[in-house]
Amino acid sequence: MVKKVAILGSSGGNLYFLGGKDPDRLLDELLLQTEAAGMVCTSLQFIAAKASMDSAKDDTPAELYSWNEDMAKPLVIAQGTLAEVNEAAVLLDADIAAKITNGDIDALIFMSADPAGTNRKAVEAAAIKKIPATGTGGTSMAAVSAKGVNVISTSGTTGTTNRTRAVTFLTSLSKHFGLSYKPVIGKPDTSGQKDQLNSRPYQRINIRGMMLSSLPGFIAMALILALSKIPVFTGLGDVFDLMINALPVILAVVAAKQVADLDNVSIVAGVIAGVLSVKGGIIGGIIGGILAGLLVHYIFRKCVEWRFPATTVNIAAGGIAGLISGLAVFFVISPIALQLGEGIRSLLDFLVSYNSTIAGLIAGLLIWPAIIGGVYHAAILPIVLLEMERTGNSFLGAVDMAGLVMVSAGITLANIVSPRDKGEAAVAVPGFAINMGFGTFVEAAYPFMFSNKLIFAGAIISSGLGGLLVGFFDVRGTAYVPSFMAPLLSNNMTGFIIAMAGSLLCSFFITLTLNKLSGNNKSKESLKNQQNELAG
């Protein structure tokens, strides 16, 4: 038989600041984990006030959530002042108590409940039926237990999140009923599958995703570097040095959250691990964050199985996981990670110093096939970030801007000026604007490149020219910033402007020429068809 669960409580005092002020998200997470445990929610009484219950008054606005059986979802059934909503909640409490008495509810989940008020009858019925209950809210759960309810686990609210509370509740109930429970992350996808917290978390490790998510931190560092070159802002040089040390922390936090995805718990673990991984550079930060995420997952699950209070679970998972992984990187992995990063940078520096012009040309010719083939984000972007970690800009970053962004901008601009048909101009305008304004969205050129092999070839040629110019002027720069700002973030502003302008104009004129030739061919063909029709 499927176990039926009732959820009782309120947005609470401390809980209000830890998820209670957004009841929809709080309940969604709880219902998601309930479903994952193979149970169903059949009753709900949740009072959501517009202020913490510690300071709420009778005239504080509030809503009452109940369970709609037909729609199988929570719905607001009463709105008004807290006093009015409490009156409606007392009536709902009687209905839930009757269900408990009739054996229609198998377990209770309490969150900042009121066992002496709006939940009194349900608590009394639960004490008589001896059904299992779990929940958070130190004072309220103590009162629930004192009334004779079979409380199988309890905890305070401090340090918890919507997800950690829900997982703790359902783990306790599943263990009590002897059910198999695999916590899930997020909503089911289109195939109906869910990402399970306890099924091989290492499968969620995605280096490319970590790099992309951390990119804003690298761009912020590049902006600080550019500003520090202005006489009035020379003091920002110390800020730049500080931000370099912050990069491993950023990557560690992103990695830990990606692997564990336990909200603030994984974030805290990532911060601790990242701070201790600074000496290992960004590679050390990534390793520390991954280890922290794996340990958060393991420690969290074990603590819940051992029925630790939810607050203690969060403290242990976040703090201990961060310390263990961070210390491992600090004492063992940092030197290796630092040498690996230096080795990659040294190899690139050697290739560029051997003949920077040829190196730029080759990089420019290969960068379009690399991004189309999925190699760019997996291999080139990490190298760009490794370069930026040391100097704030990058040789391959400059090739990215000149060879990808500017070439895409040139192709889209040509299709604005002289499109093959009117519809293509409408497609090209936003692409050109985003490339120039944000230094990204090179995919805007794909429709034109894929529809004409000569335009595709022109893109590669133009990119090769841009890379060649980057190498010739020995430019270090970055993409992902507005085009007018990119030269300011480089080591050679004039050289970067020439390289960017060269690749943009080259792709523009190649595409423009091909579009005009295509238009002329269409006109000749149309004229020929008209002549044939007249002759017929």
Backbone angles phi, psi at 485, to 5 degrees: -90, -25
Tell whether 317 and 449 lie within a shared domain.
no
From 320, 330, 319, select the one nearest 276 (Cα to Cα). 330
Secondary element (H or E) of residue 281: helix 281-305
Tell whether 404 and 470 lie within a shared domain.
yes
Residue 535 pLDDT greater than 80, yes or no: no
pLDDT at 149: 94
User: Would you give the DSSP letter of residue 418?
Assistant: S
How many domains does the structure of the chain reveal? Answer: 3
Distance CA 347, CA 516 (A): 44
Task: List the Cα angle 422/425/427 in 5-degree steps.
Answer: 115
pLDDT at 157: 80
pLDDT at 389: 79
The CATH number of whichever domain residue 63 belongs to comes to: 3.40.50.10090
Tell whether 91 and 212 lie within a shared domain.
no
Tell whether 519 and 380 lie within a shared domain.
yes
pLDDT at 525: 57
Structure tokens at 63: 């809503």
pLDDT at 302: 83
In a domain, 343, yes or no: no
User: Would you give the DSSP letter of residue 477?
Assistant: B
Structure tokens at 375: 């190699």
pLDDT at 93: 95
In a domain, 533, yes or no: no
Residue 223 pLDDT greater than 60, yes or no: yes
pLDDT at 243: 85
Distance CA 442, CA 504 (A): 12
Measured CA distances, 415 to 177, 368, 420, 512, 525 (Å): 65, 19, 7, 7, 21
**Structural domain ending residue among the three candidates 160, 191, 222:** 191
pLDDT at 529: 59
**Selected residue with higher pLDDT from 66 and 155:** 66
The answer to whether the CB of 467 falls within 8 A of the CB of 496 is: no
Tell whether 222 and 309 lie within a shared domain.
yes
Secondary element (H or E) of residue 274: helix 264-276
Tell whether 333 and 416 lie within a shared domain.
no
When mean pLDDT is compared across 99-113, 194-208, 249-263, 378-392, the lowest value belongs to 194-208
pLDDT > 70: what percent of the chain?
Answer: 93
Residue spans of beta strands (DSSP E) within 55-106: 61-68, 73-81
Tell whether 362 and 331 lie within a shared domain.
no
Q: At what angle do helices 207-228 and 381-391 cross, to 10 degrees?
A: 30
Helix ranges (DSSP H) in 355-492: 356-372, 375, 381-391, 395-399, 406-417, 422-438, 446-451, 453-472
Tell whether 397 and 293 lie within a shared domain.
no
In a domain, 256, yes or no: yes
The answer to whether the CB of 383 falls within 8 A of the CB of 348 is: yes
pLDDT at 524: 54
Distance CA 296, CA 301 (A): 8
Type of residue at 156:
G
How many helices and strands, by DSSP H and E, does the chain display?
21, 9
Tell whether 325 and 273 lie within a shared domain.
yes
Task: Provide the CB-side half-sphere exposure for 173 (13 A, CA).
Answer: 34
In a domain, 132, yes or no: yes
pLDDT at 188: 42
For residue range 423-437, list pLDDT tens digits in order. Answer: 788 888 998 999 998
In a domain, 484, yes or no: yes
Distance CA 89, CA 523 (A): 75
**Structural domain ending residue among the three candidates 158, 173, 191:** 191
Tell whether 517 and 379 lie within a shared domain.
yes
For residue range 228-276, list pLDDT tens digits in order. Answer: 777 788 788 888 888 888 889 999 999 998 888 777 888 999 999 999 9
For residue range 127-171, list pLDDT tens digits in order. Answer: 999 999 999 887 888 899 999 999 998 877 877 888 888 988 998
Instruction: Mention every residue, 6+ apart, whose C-beta is less than 8 A from residue 479.
Output: 397, 400, 401, 404, 405, 439, 440, 486
Query: pLDDT-derived band of residue 197, with 50, 70 and 90 as boundaries?
Result: very low
Q: Is 265 exposed, middle or buried (0-12, 13-18, 19+ CB in 10 A)?
A: buried
Distance CA 362, CA 477 (A): 17
Distance CA 66, CA 131 (A): 21
Task: List the Cα angle 514/516/519 in 5-degree steps.
Answer: 110
**Structural domain ending residue among the three candidates 281, 306, 338:** 338
From 420, 426, 463, 461, select the one nearest 442 (Cα to Cα). 463
pLDDT at 461: 96
Tell whether 243 and 373 lie within a shared domain.
no
When mean pLDDT is compared across 37-46, 288-297, 440-449, the lowest value belongs to 440-449
Q: Which domain holds residue 176?
A: 4-191
pLDDT at 24: 93
pLDDT at 194: 44
Tell whether 393 and 277 lie within a shared domain.
no
